[in-house]
Structure 1
Amino acid sequence: MCRWLAYSGSPILLEELLYRPEHSLIDQSRHSRLGAETTNGDGFGVGWYGTDGGSPALFRGIGPAWGDENLRELAGAVASPLFLAHIRASTGTAVQQSNCHPFRYGNWLWLHNGLIRGFAAMKRELTLAVDPGLYPHIGGSTDSEVMFHLALTFGLVEQPVCAVERMVSFVEETAREHGVQRPLQMTLGVADGTRLWAFRYSSEGNSRSLYVSTDAAALRALYPENERLQRIADGTRIVVSEPLGELVGAWQPIPESSYGLVEPGNAMLGDFKP
C-alpha cells in the first residue's frame, strides 16, 4: 500500500517533514515500519497551497522518492502552510504519473492509502456513477482516483464528511452485489486550501495506521527544553501514516472509523459512519 502525510500550520519548508525528521516520509519510502510493505517505491507526489489558499500546485514522479533530486531541490525551496505528500506502493495499477497521488480538482487535493478489493470487477459500475461533468477529469486508472470523483459527485465541496460517507456506502453496496467481502481499506487525506480532513475506515474494522500530532502548546509544555518544539506555532497539526519520530507523547492514533478536521483555530475528531 502507501504512506502519506498532511501538514496544516504556519508556513514551513516541505523538507522539514519530507526529509529532516528521524523517520521522515522519505525514510518511510525505504523503511516503512507500519505499512503493508516495507518499501514504497512506485512513485510519489506532493501538493501544496500558497499562503492565500487557492488552487494547489502539484509535483509528482514515477520513480522512488528517495532518489529524486528534483523533489529534494523543490522541498528545500518551497514553503507552505498546508500540504499533502504521498509515497506509493501500487496495489496492481500501472506505475505512471497520472496514478500518483495527490489528485487535484479545483482547489481540492485527495490522497489515499488502501484499496478497493475486487476493483477490476466493479470498476465499470463505480466509474459510471461519477457525474458526467467530472468524468473527463479522471486521468489515471486507480481505485483511489475513482473514489475521489465519486466523493465529488456525492457533494464533497458542500458537505465533505457526508460525501465521503456516501462514497464508502456506494462502494460497499456495489461490492455486495459482486460478492466481494470486506471491499474497502482506506485512510484518506483531503484538503480544500484552508481545511484538512483525515479519514480512517475499513470494511473489516481493522484499518491501516493513522496518527495526528499532539496539540502544539501541550507539546511545548511537555518538552520546554526542545528548541524545535518551541518554534511550532499554535494550531499546527500533522497527520501521518506512521510517526515521524520516537518522541513520547508527540503522536496520537486516530481512532478506528473516525475522521479529523483541522482548520484555522480549530481541530476536532468525529465518528465516521457510512
Structure 2
Amino acid sequence: MCRWAAWQGKPLFLSEILTAPDHSLIQQSREASKCKTAINADGFGLAWYDQHPNPGLYRDVYPAWSDANLKSLAEQVRARLFLAHVRASTGTATSRNNCHPFVQGKWSFMHNGQVGGFDSFRKDADMMIPNALYANRKGATDSEALFLVACGMGLDRDPKAAMQAAVGAFEARSVQSGQGPHMRMAAGFSDGETLYALRYASDNLAPSMFYQWNEEWQGWSVVSEPYDTALGNWIEVPKGSFCRFTATEVEIEPFAPTFMQAKEPGLLAV
C-alpha cells in the first residue's frame, strides 16, 4: 500500500507537509502507522499547481527519505494546490513511470489501494483507454490505467460520474477474474482548481483517509494518515465517499461504482 497527502488553499511550502511535521509524509514513507505496509520505499512523486494550468511534476524511484533533491525542492516550492505520494508497490516494477501522481493535461491523480486480478485483465483495461489518451499510458500500474479510463469517461465534464464508471468497470472485471479484494482505493486528484478525493472498497477494508481545515494556513489537508496531531481536528472520510475541496469549502457525497450491463457474455459495455 502507499501513503499520500494533498493541499488546497493559500500557497504553502511543500515542506510544511512533506518534511516538517513529526509524522510528515517523508516520515510515513518509512514508518506508516495506518496501513499493512509500514515501509513505502518504491518511489515517490509530487504534482503541484501555481501559475500555470498544467501541473509541475517530479517523480523518482528512490525512497523518499533518501532523496536530497526532494527535501530541497519541498523547502523552496510554494503552491496553492499539490499532491504528494510515497509508493509501496503491489506488484508492478519500481520505475519512474509507475510512480504517482500521474498527469494528463491539467489533471493529476494519485491512488492508494489495489484492484484484484488486474494482471489477468490488463490488456482489456488498456483497450478501454481512448486512442487520443493512450500515449499517456507510460507505466504498467492499475492506478494509471484507471485514471486514463476515467479521463476517457468524462473526467472533465463530471469527475464523480467518470470515476464511478471507471471504478465500476474495473471492479466488474476483477469479479470476473475471481481474484479479490476486487477494489480498494483512496484516491486524490485535481484539475488545478478543485481537489477531489474518494474513499471506497468492495469489502469493508477501504484504505484510510482524513481531512482537516487548518486555520493558520487557511486551507485543507487531505491525507492517508494525519501528519500532525497537535491541532486534533482531523476528520475521517466515511467509506464510500466522494469529496470536493475548494479553497474554502468541502462537499462530501456518497460514492458507488456504476456497473454497466454486459453486451455479450464475458464483455462489459463501457
Specify the alignment match of 2:80 in structure 1.
81
In structure 2, what is the Cα distance between the partners aligned to 1:245 and 1:264?
21
> Would the aligned equivalents of 1:53 and 1:194 in 2 still touch at CA under 8 Å?
no
- What do residues 62-107 of structure 1 show as CA deviations (whole Å, max 9, x unaligned)? 0000010000111111000000000000001000000000000011
- What do residues 249-273 of structure 1 show as CA deviations (whole Å, max 9, x unaligned)? 3211000000111013421111002
- What do residues 117-170 of structure 1 show as CA deviations (whole Å, max 9, x unaligned)? 111001111111111111121000111100101111111111000100001110
In structure 2, what is the Cα distance between the partners aligned to 1:53 and 1:170?
33
Which secondary structure does the structure 1 equivalent of 2:189 belong to? strand
Post-superposition offset of 1:180: 3.1
Specify the alignment match of 2:217 in structure 1.
232
Specify the alignment match of 2:174 in structure 1.
175
**Aligned pair 1:203/2:202, yes or no?**
yes
Counterpart residue identity of residue 250, structure 1? N
**Aligned pair 1:46/2:31, yes or no?**
no
Post-superposition offset of 1:216: 3.7
Report the aligned-residue RMSD.
1.2
Which secondary structure does the structure 2 equivalent of 1:121 belong to? helix
Match for residue 228 of structure 2 among 230, 242, 245: 245
In structure 2, what is the Cα distance between the partners aligned to 1:216 and 1:33?
22
- Cα separation, partners in 2 of 1:216 and 1:67, compared to 1, 3 Å: closer
Which secondary structure does the structure 2 equivalent of 1:54 belong to? coil
Q: Spell out structure 1 runs of 4+ moving beyond 6 A.
A: none
Specify the alignment match of 2:27 in structure 1.
27
Specify the alignment match of 1:62 in structure 2.
61
Q: Write the mapping of 1:1-274 to structure 2, written as runs, cut at 5 A.
A: 1-50=1-50, 52-213=51-212, 215-217=213-215, 231-233=216-218, 236-247=219-230, 249-274=232-257
- What do residues 188-213 of structure 1 show as CA deviations (whole Å, max 9, x unaligned)? 00111110001000111320110001
In structure 2, what is the Cα distance between the partners aligned to 1:47 and 1:82?
9
In structure 2, what is the Cα distance between the partners aligned to 1:85 and 1:265?
20
Question: So what's the TM-score if we normalise by structure 1?
Answer: 0.91
Which secondary structure does the structure 2 equivalent of 1:149 belong to? helix
Counterpart residue identity of residue 268, structure 1? E
In structure 2, what is the Cα distance between the partners aligned to 1:263 and 1:127?
32
Which secondary structure does the structure 1 equivalent of 2:55 belong to? strand
Question: So what's the TM-score if we normalise by structure 2?
Answer: 0.92
Q: Gapped runs of 5+ residues in structure 2?
A: 258-270
Q: Gapped runs of 5+ residues in structure 1?
A: 218-230
> Would the aligned equivalents of 1:43 and 1:100 in 2 still touch at CA under 8 Å?
yes
Which secondary structure does the structure 2 equivalent of 1:45 belong to? strand
Which secondary structure does the structure 2 equivalent of 1:34 belong to? coil
> Would the aligned equivalents of 1:212 and 1:237 in 2 still touch at CA under 8 Å?
yes
In structure 1, what is the Cα distance between the partners aligned to 2:248 and 2:119?
42
Which secondary structure does the structure 2 equivalent of 1:17 belong to? helix
Post-superposition offset of 1:53: 4.7
> Would the aligned equivalents of 2:13 and 2:76 in 1 still touch at CA under 8 Å?
yes
In structure 2, what is the Cα distance between the partners aligned to 1:10 and 1:265?
9
> Would the aligned equivalents of 2:199 and 2:241 in 1 still touch at CA under 8 Å?
yes
> Would the aligned equivalents of 2:9 and 2:248 in 1 still touch at CA under 8 Å?
no
Post-superposition offset of 1:248: 5.6
In structure 1, what is the Cα distance between the partners aligned to 2:247 and 2:29?
30
Percent of matched pairs sharing the same residue: 38
Specify the alignment match of 1:222 in structure 2.
none
> Would the aligned equivalents of 1:205 and 1:257 in 2 still touch at CA under 8 Å?
no
